[in-house]
Structure 1
Amino acid sequence: MYTLLIQHLSKHISLTNEEIILLTAAFKPKRLKKKEFLLHQGEVSRQETFVTQGCLRAFSVNDKGEEHIAQFAVEDWWVGDMYSFLTGAPSRLYIEALEDCQLLQIDRPGLEDLYLRVPKMERFFRIIIQNAFIASQNRVLSSMSQTADERYLDFIRKYPNIEQRVPLYQIAAYLGITPEFLSRIRKKFQGK
């Protein structure tokens, strides 16, 4: 279960065997069944979560009951409400398992302790937070400047395996379009 996490970290930092032992002691395994929630809106996000198996979605619900999906998370990805985790404010997100999931979690005190005991972990989290910020900024800009067709093509190019794992109405919610409009877009590109 920890192998994928170690491989993931190794993309940005190199760890000694001693550091790997400290790291695996700091992360706790968690399992979720399909449709279980990792986080509810209004709760404080107490953990950062790494996905070792399964698929989740992070979403909000507006006053009209419409869902807006902020993120999908599959193996080798992180999921959580970083704002809530860092500030202690109530989460604005729900995080739900779309499949049975195996996760590794670390809480804020554990992460702070890990930063002290394995200082290169601060570098790692700085890199992934920078990458998340860039991805978020690119998503905002594409939602303002790209057509729905372009957003869909960009989505399937960046995340080729997700389309087979999640319902199309959720992809539509991620793209900010109706499921019917997504169906028309998909038909347009089938066979091309």
Structure 2
Amino acid sequence: MNSDFIKQRSRFKSATTRRIDVSEESYTAVTDLLATIARPFHVRKGEYLQRAGVPATQVHWLSSGVARSGFFNRDGVEVTLRFYREGESATTLTDLINGETGLPSVQFLVAETPIHGFTLDWKLTCDLRAQHPVMQHYHLNIALHGLQSLAQRAYTNGETSAHERLAAFREEYPGLEARISQRAIASYLGITPQYMSRLRREAEAASGEPREA
């Protein structure tokens, strides 16, 4: 059993249980189960946790750092889907499911900062879930939370202005703007880095307080 994994997970117990609406007892039980298969990993900024075109087999739980998921559209343009921070699992669920039969990933996962964390083999995780009802309930709540976030993201992208999307990003990911590149944020908002610079200048002018570069 990986005691460091348990120690790191305990740091995020309160925040995670509030976010996905599970009890602390369930969180602890799941942590203890996952500790039997957790393996430490480290990547530098810019390195891939998962490459598009390669079957996905691992869940990456982050104890420090920021990861970004996305894909390349048919024009070769990079589209950012979301960010993952400390205490979260950087996971593209559809790719993991497809990877069970050897199908290649559609999405990539890349480190926006140096990352320390733990990998969890997807097949072994599924085996544990099949054996333990507490994990079934836990993962169901994670899936429901993910669907709610996906629905909100779809609405934000389709029905709001770039200014509103930037405000929504800042609300969903407080403090993240100062940790990652402007290019990554622009990709998430569906705008150019140049327009992103303009939005930030306008926000600074409106608030009267310059933001960090």
Rate the CA distance shift 1:134–1:16 in 2: closer, same or farther, 3 A. Answer: closer
Give the Å deviation of 1:7: 5.1
Give the Å deviation of 1:158: 1.6
How many residue pairs were aligned?
192
Give the Å deviation of 1:18: 7.5
CA distance in 2, matches of 1:19, 1:175: 34
- Counterpart position of 2:141: 127
Q: 1:5 aligns with which of 6, 9, 17?
A: 9
CA contact (8 A) 1:26 1:114 kept: no
1:135-154 alignment runs, 5 A limit: 135-154=149-168
CA distance in 2, matches of 1:164, 1:104: 25
Q: Does 1:34 align with 2:45?
A: yes
CA contact (8 A) 1:5 1:50 kept: no
CA distance in 2, matches of 1:158, 1:52: 19
Rate the CA distance shift 1:122–1:6 in 2: closer, same or farther, 3 A. Answer: farther
Rate the CA distance shift 1:16–1:168 in 2: closer, same or farther, 3 A. Answer: closer
Q: Does 1:74 align with 2:88?
A: no
CA contact (8 A) 2:30 2:134 kept: no
Q: Please, what TM-score do these two structures have when normalized by structure 2?
A: 0.81
Give the Å deviation of 1:113: 2.6
Rate the CA distance shift 1:50–1:19 in 2: closer, same or farther, 3 A. Answer: closer
Give the Å deviation of 1:112: 2.2
- Counterpart position of 1:172: 186
Query: Is 100-109 or 35-44 further displaced after alignment?
Result: 100-109
CA distance in 2, matches of 1:185, 1:150: 10
Rate the CA distance shift 1:182–1:117 in 2: closer, same or farther, 3 A. Answer: same
CA distance in 2, matches of 1:22, 1:68: 35
CA contact (8 A) 1:34 1:100 kept: yes
CA distance in 1, matches of 2:149, 2:29: 33
CA distance in 2, matches of 1:160, 1:56: 15
Taking only the aligned residue pairs, the percentage that are identical comes to 24
- Counterpart position of 2:33: 22
Letter in 2 for 1:87: N
Give the Å deviation of 1:19: 6.3
Gap runs ≥5 in structure 2: 208-213
Gap runs ≥5 in structure 1: none
Give the Å deviation of 1:62: 2.5
Deviations 1:95-123 (A, max 9, x none): 11122111222222211232244321111
Rate the CA distance shift 1:18–1:99 in 2: closer, same or farther, 3 A. Answer: closer
- Counterpart position of 1:115: 129
Query: Is 100-109 or 20-29 further displaced after alignment?
Result: 20-29
Rate the CA distance shift 1:117–1:180 in 2: closer, same or farther, 3 A. Answer: same
Deviations 1:123-160 (A, max 9, x none): 11111111111101110111111111001011112212
Q: Please, what TM-score do these two structures have when normalized by structure 1?
A: 0.90
CA distance in 1, matches of 2:171, 2:26: 32
